């Protein structure tokens, strides 16, 4: 297999390249060379996909598959897909469940309506960007398009600091704000499991959109936070606070409590997503304890680790816990 990876190699791209090289594939990355990481077993091509002319040399090679992780302006995916449509077999685009129109119902599957978007758009926001990218790939590749609608992506080398937040917070010890309900499904996908699925899909047989998160029953919020507390030394004590109290505190739930989705009708589909198609097409999810332990090993190991500042001020966190415990007057 000849694989072309677009969109950088900082996180998802890094693991796609690593897994493909381990399979013995011929891998080429196309980046501006400004950030990320270069695998010694892959060919690195420097270029700027923001300029359509910069993509022209790629069309001179026959590719079995393309993997694209771009999250910005859809027109960039449009130009890439058009340039490669005649020389690439399949185009796997890493999209997101964010493309679904809200409110999403419990049992959300790939047939639910999506947000309004255009393949020709500039950067207009995460959800329309991802949906516009999907449209661009579908227009250029038809049934050779693979739309990987990933959920929260976690694992070693994560650059957004979501799982690192919980790990570093647990390592500080003490009472740790834990967003309830504790037994709510925590839907995510390990980056390495996502990469393996993408490569399998690149080989054929998976057209169209697929929801890629762990199956219900795989992990709860309690499972994730207890695993984080254990792997970091058991110094943290999760204090489970109900949704209403967290919402009333004014804490930005998306930024401060990464991965937590407040229960309710508006986001029901993100908590209870149908992943039957993903499982039928080969998604296999490793245990949450493995994802947590491997991420902690990376955070505490050698090498250049990003700086992940606390997402919640410790005093503010304690105030929320104290208010939750205080009897109503």
Question: How far, in Å, CA of 172 to CA of 309, rounded?
Answer: 12
Q: Which residue has the tokens 């685009």?
A: 93
φ, ψ (nearest 5 deg) of residue 164:
-55, -35
Question: How far, in Å, CA of 106 to CA of 265, rounded?
Answer: 8
Name the more confident of 37 and 248. 248
Query: pLDDT confidence of 328, banded at 50, 70, 90?
Result: low
Give start and end residues of each alpha helix (H) in the chain: 12-22, 74-84, 126-141, 162-172, 191-202, 221-231, 243-249, 253-256, 268-271, 276-280, 288-299, 314-325
Mean predicted lDDT score pLDDT of the chain: 94
Lowest mean pLDDT among 6-10, 97-101, 266-270, 279-283: 6-10
- Dump pLDDT digits (tens) for 116-169: 999 999 999 999 999 999 999 999 999 999 999 999 999 999 989 999 999 999
Is 141 in a helix, a strand, or coil?
A: helix
- Which pLDDT does position 329 carry in this prediction? 44
Average pLDDT over every residue of 182-197 = 98
């Amino acid at each position: 297999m000849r694989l072309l990876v677009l969109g950088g190699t900082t996180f998802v791209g890094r693991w796609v390249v690593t897994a493909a090289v381990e399979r013995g594939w011929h891998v080429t990355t196309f980046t501006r060379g400004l950030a990320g990481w270069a695998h010694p077993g892959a060919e690195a091509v420097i270029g700027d996909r923001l300029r359509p002319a910069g993509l022209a040399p790629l069309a001179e090679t026959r590719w079995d598959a393309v993997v694209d992780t771009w999250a910005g302006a859809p027109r960039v995916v449009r130009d890439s897909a058009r340039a490669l449509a005649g020389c690439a077999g399949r185009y796997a685009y890493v999209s997101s469940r964010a493309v679904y129109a809200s409110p999403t119902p419990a049992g959300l599957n790939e047939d639910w309506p999506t947000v309004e978007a255009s393949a020709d758009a500039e950067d207009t926001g995460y959800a329309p960007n991802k949906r516009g990218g999907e449209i661009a790939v579908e227009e250029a590749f038809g049934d050779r398009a693979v739309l990987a609608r990933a959920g929260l992506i976690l694992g070693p080398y994560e650059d957004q600091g979501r799982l690192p937040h919980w790990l570093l917070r647990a390592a500080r010890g003490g009472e740790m704000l834990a967003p309830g309900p504790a037994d709510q499904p925590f839907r995510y996908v390990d980056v390495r499991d996502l990469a393996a699925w993408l490569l399998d899909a690149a080989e054929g047989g998976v057209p169209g959109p697929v929801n890629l998160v762990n199956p219900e029953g795989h992990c709860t919020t309690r499972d994730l936070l207890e695993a984080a507390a254990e792997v970091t030394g058991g110094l943290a004590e999760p204090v489970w606070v109900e949704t209403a109290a967290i919402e009333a505190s004014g804490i930005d739930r998306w930024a401060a409590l990464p991965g937590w989705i407040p229960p309710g009708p508006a986001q029901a589909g993100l908590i209870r997503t149908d992943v039957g198609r993903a499982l039928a097409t080969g998604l296999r999810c490793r245990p949450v304890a493995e994802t947590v332990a491997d991420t902690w090993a990376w955070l505490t190991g050698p090498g250049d680790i990003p700086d992940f500042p606390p997402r919640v001020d410790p005093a503010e966190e304690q105030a929320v816990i104290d208010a939750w415990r205080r009897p109503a007057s």
